[in-house]
Amino acid sequence: MAAGPLRVFFLWHFHQPWYADFAGGPTHLPWVRLHALKDYADLPDLLSAEPRVPHACNLVPSLLDQIEVLAGGGSDRFLDISRTPASEWDAGTVSFVLNNFFSAHPRMIEAFPRYTELKTRLQGWTTDVMTSGVRRSFSREDLRDLVVLFHLAWSGATLSKDPLLAKLKKRGHGFSEEEKNALLDRQQAFLSEVIPAWKRALATGTIELTTSPYHHPILPLLVDGHAGHEARPDLPLPHARFRRPEDARDHLALGLGTFERHFGFRPKGMWPPEGAVSEPALALMAEAGVEWAASDEEVLLRSLFHPDKRFGEGDKARTVFHPYRLANGKSPVLFFRDRVLSDRIGFSYATWRPEEAAADFLTRLHAIRNAAPEEELVVPVILDGENAWETYPENGAPFLRALSKTLSENGVLVVKPSDAARESEPRPLPRLVAGSWVEGNLRTWTGVPAKNRAWELLAHVREDLAPDVAAAPVLSPPEVLRGGAPPAAVAKAALFAAEASDWFWWFGDDHNSAHDAVFDALFRAHLATACRALGRPVPPELEHPVERKVVPPAVISTSPLSPGIDGQHPDFFEWLGAGRQAARPKGAMERGPGAIKEVLFGSDAPGERLFLCLHPSVFPASASLAGRRLRIVTPGPDGQKPETREVALTPGTTMQAGCEVGVGRVVEIALPRPRGEGRTTSFRVLLLDGEGRELEAVPDSDFIRFETARADWSA
């Protein structure tokens, strides 16, 4: 039997939430500006370079409008501080800079020796000791260099060719205020080149552009907040049921209209925010004229089969790699992403040689083809289009070039999604269970206390203002900020901003960032703006954070320890009284474990030694952590410089830097307990590669702190 054709398409999703409030001040976070400098102008040319390998790119409307505002002279808090002379910074500003201007992937920082030096100097300090001691250790020249290096690190290949940036990068230190301001001026001018770069790529015919609802809301939850029960009937849902299909319809219309204003046409396709779909949401998309959409393979499999069903490769290929349409006809053509290929680009290939990664991708495509040789297959590869590249050398360019070269030279048929939708007959889908790309359900945005509380706040304000905003025009934030909008339209725009997916992503313990408090505040600020616009009192609960996040140990150490340090961990009782701290998931989309799964910790009875046990994500540690190093950081006494010990993770038992180290199935370490902390012991561990570059840390920031069993350690 002749083999049916196999088609592949790539869809890259570019998304940022609306980071400004409606008061007209600077944007609170800089990620639109920084990604525009590093990614958004480079990727159009890179993705359109090989005509035999087209790409689809999903541009969220709130992102497009923010780029336009910034290109027109808009600012953000980081930029405002950067433009102020370092000599004028007060203590609070210095602390802000030290806390925030190392916000770059370690690979970006390591490209600059001076940037690495400054980070090493700060390494281990915690936010609650960001006081005069640490501030005094950084001169005004250090701080000015830090600001310049931060912005150089966030400059992509295109921008870095500018003679000014090339000169500053070559020198690498000792920047003047004049040079700093010249750099910021050049970057400001560069922002106006970003959207034209996408238009040029579109004109090549190699790029297909798609979009999303304006503020990137989870459409199924706007239509009906109880949609989370379809995939997870056990999910505790908010007491107040949010149900606003009219809001979902307006987000779609505003998004499509905004995209058309920027590019002159309405796209055929759409990546629903986070791949979240439900039958009513798909009906609204079809009503809006969307011809095709995509979600995750798990959503399809949950919709067709019992969740516990297991598949062979042939069964999966014959099921997943086809377009579908709801049998009732009320949906666009649906594609379902291949999770393995998508996640290997997003989370695995960054550490591979580009040619080897491309070869592995090709091998896996051949395996899909061979699993169902008689079938006509469409394999969708869909993932984040911006954050993944920070983990790759040269921002992912060598990998993308190698992938395009490998696919084109081996005759792989790469198509645009619209062509795949037109050329393949969709199968009827009897029903669709509401879900997303994350685990095939909606739990990431609802079903835990903090997320549910946020939905309840939104539901109460939305319900209270419903009569006033029902007939109001639907305006984008830039239209509101230009002034003159009716109060009801201002309130509606603020409510829609509060419905974005991002706030709910960051509520709860499943995702964390250094800016969780900002996300929390922006969510509440949008709701407060809606109330004030209509002269309504702001509910008192909006004056307080939805949640207060802390990073305590998941399990506190309860009794003295006396483990054997051999790396074998053969005796459960050796670590029975240990505290435990799980590592955070790694990756820009917070997906997948890092190399360390959790850290066990405690002390001995005399109070002389600290014990650590690292459980790797893949056993044994002697293999999965081979060639790595471990840095153990403890605070210095009375706010002095932290103490650092660094050891190689060499199999067997060794003595290094005053530490007894055992590496086998696990990593076990004994070291002298730091003095000067009273009853409290604090530490942090960082995993390094063989060249000393940071790979991950437990915890992500701050220290693990615990009280020892001994009454007083300070003697």
Please determine, for residue 359, whether its predicted confidence score (pLDDT) is greater than 90.
yes
- How does 393-423 read in b/e, with b if 16+ C-beta sit within 10 Å? eebbbbbbbbbbbbbeeeebebbbbbebbee
Once rounded to an integer, what is the mean pLDDT over residues 419-432? 95
Task: Give the C-alpha separation, 149 to 143, whole Å.
Answer: 10
Comparing 96-110, 223-237, 240-254, which segment has the lowest mean pLDDT? 96-110
Residue 295 exposure: Cα atoms within 13 Å on the Cβ side: 32
* Helix, coil or strand: residue 37: helix
Continuous H helices in 499-554 = 501-506, 516-533
pLDDT band for position 361 (cuts 50, 70, 90): very high
The token duo for 49 is: 């370079």
Cis amide bond preceding 196, omega within 30: no
Taking only the tens place, the pLDDT of each residue in 311-328 is: 667 788 999 999 999 999
Once rounded to an integer, what is the mean pLDDT over residues 144-169? 97
Q: For residue 588, what pLDDT is reported?
A: 36
Q: Which residue has the higher pLDDT, 645 or 573?
A: 645
Please determine, for residue 662, whether its predicted confidence score (pLDDT) is greater than 80.
yes
Please determine, for residue 26, whether its predicted confidence score (pLDDT) is greater than 50.
yes
Taking only the tens place, the pLDDT of each residue in 377-410 is: 999 999 998 887 888 999 899 999 999 999 999 9
Please determine, for residue 608, whether its predicted confidence score (pLDDT) is greater than 90.
no
Comparing 77-81, 358-362, 371-375, which segment has the lowest mean pLDDT? 371-375
Task: Give the C-alpha separation, 392 to 237, whole Å.
Answer: 39
Continuous H helices in 326-425 = 339-347, 354-371, 397-409, 417-423
* Helix, coil or strand: residue 648: strand
Please determine, for residue 587, whether its predicted confidence score (pLDDT) is greater than 70.
no
Task: Give the C-alpha separation, 607 to 47, whole Å.
Answer: 58
Calculate the alpha carbon distances from 40 to 16, 437, 493, 595 in Å.
12, 23, 26, 30
Dihedral angle over CA of 666, 668, 674, 677, nearest 10: 50
209: closest CA among 82, 56, 331, 427? Answer: 56
Q: What are phi and psi of 679, to 5 degrees?
A: -85, -10
Q: For residue 95, what pLDDT is reported?
A: 83
703: closest CA among 504, 596, 559, 552? Answer: 552
Comparing 218-222, 453-457, 517-521, 693-697, which segment has the lowest mean pLDDT? 693-697
Once rounded to an integer, what is the mean pLDDT over residues 614-618? 89
Comparing 90-94, 227-231, 257-261, 658-662, which segment has the lowest mean pLDDT? 90-94
| Residues of the chain above pLDDT 70, percent | 91
Task: Give the C-alpha separation, 201 to 205, whole Å.
Answer: 7
Q: For residue 715, what pLDDT is reported?
A: 31
220: closest CA among 271, 160, 282, 151? Answer: 282
Question: Percentage helix, strand, coil, to 5, in the chain?
Answer: 45, 15, 40
Task: Give the C-alpha separation, 110 to 342, whole Å.
Answer: 27
Calculate the alpha carbon distances from 26 to 23, 238, 301, 487 in Å.
9, 33, 45, 22
Once rounded to an integer, what is the mean pLDDT over residues 620-628? 91
Query: Is the C-alpha dihedral spanning 351, 404, 200, 207 positive or negative?
Result: negative
The token duo for 509 is: 């313990």
Task: Give the C-alpha separation, 324 to 322, whole Å.
Answer: 6
Task: Give the C-alpha separation, 669 to 647, whole Å.
Answer: 10
Q: Which residue has the higher pLDDT, 551 or 43?
A: 43
628: closest CA among 651, 606, 611? Answer: 651
Once rounded to an integer, what is the mean pLDDT over residues 270-294? 98
Strands (E), 226-283: 269-270
The token duo for 622 is: 């002697």
Task: Give the C-alpha separation, 207 to 200, whole Å.
Answer: 10
* Helix, coil or strand: residue 674: coil
Could you tell me which residues are beta bridge partners of residue 686?
A: 631, 697
Please determine, for residue 693, whether its predicted confidence score (pLDDT) is greater than 80.
no
Q: Evaluate whether 372 touches 317 at the Cβ level (below 8 Å).
A: yes
Which residues, at least 6 apart from 203, have a Cβ–Cβ distance to it below 8 Å? none
Q: For residue 640, what pLDDT is reported?
A: 56
Query: Is the C-alpha dihedral spanning 614, 618, 622, 624 positive or negative?
Result: negative
pTM: 0.81
pLDDT band for position 353 (cuts 50, 70, 90): very high
Q: Which residue has the higher pLDDT, 604 or 164?
A: 164
12: closest CA among 301, 259, 382? Answer: 382
Biggest alpha carbon–alpha carbon distance for the chain: 82
Specify the residue for token string 């089969």: 305
Q: Evaluate whether 693 touches 702 at the Cβ level (below 8 Å).
A: no
pLDDT band for position 577 (cuts 50, 70, 90): confident
Which residues, at least 6 apart from 317, have a Cβ–Cβ distance to it below 8 Å? 368, 371, 372, 375, 377
Q: Evaluate whether 527 touches 496 at the Cβ level (below 8 Å).
A: no
Angle between helix axes 487-498 and 516-533 (nearest 10 degrees) is 160
Instruction: Report the mean per-residue pLDDT for the chain.
Output: 89
Task: Give the C-alpha separation, 621 to 616, whole Å.
Answer: 6
Q: For residue 593, what pLDDT is reported?
A: 59
Angle between helix axes 140-153 and 163-171 (nearest 10 degrees) is 130
Please determine, for residue 711, whether its predicted confidence score (pLDDT) is greater than 60.
no
Q: For residue 682, what pLDDT is reported?
A: 81
Q: For residue 560, what pLDDT is reported?
A: 82
Once rounded to an integer, what is the mean pLDDT over residues 586-607? 70
What's the angle, vertex CA 317, arms to CA 316 and CA 322, rounded to 5? 110
Strands (E), 452-608: 579-582, 596-603
Q: For residue 267, what pLDDT is reported?
A: 97
The token duo for 109 is: 């920082």
Q: For residue 576, what pLDDT is reported?
A: 75
Strands (E), 578-651: 579-582, 596-603, 609-616, 629-634, 643-648
Once rounded to an integer, what is the mean pLDDT over residues 51-67? 97
Specify the residue for token string 């953000």: 76
Task: Give the C-alpha separation, 285 to 535, whole Å.
Answer: 34
Q: Which residue has the higher pLDDT, 578 or 343?
A: 343
Q: For residue 549, what pLDDT is reported?
A: 56
Q: Evaluate whether 499 touches 217 at the Cβ level (below 8 Å).
A: yes
* Helix, coil or strand: residue 27: strand
Calculate the alpha carbon distances from 675 to 365, 637, 682 in Å.
57, 7, 10
Please determine, for residue 547, whether its predicted confidence score (pLDDT) is greater than 70.
yes
Once rounded to an integer, what is the mean pLDDT over residues 269-290? 98
Once rounded to an integer, what is the mean pLDDT over residues 513-531? 91
Once rounded to an integer, what is the mean pLDDT over residues 69-82? 95
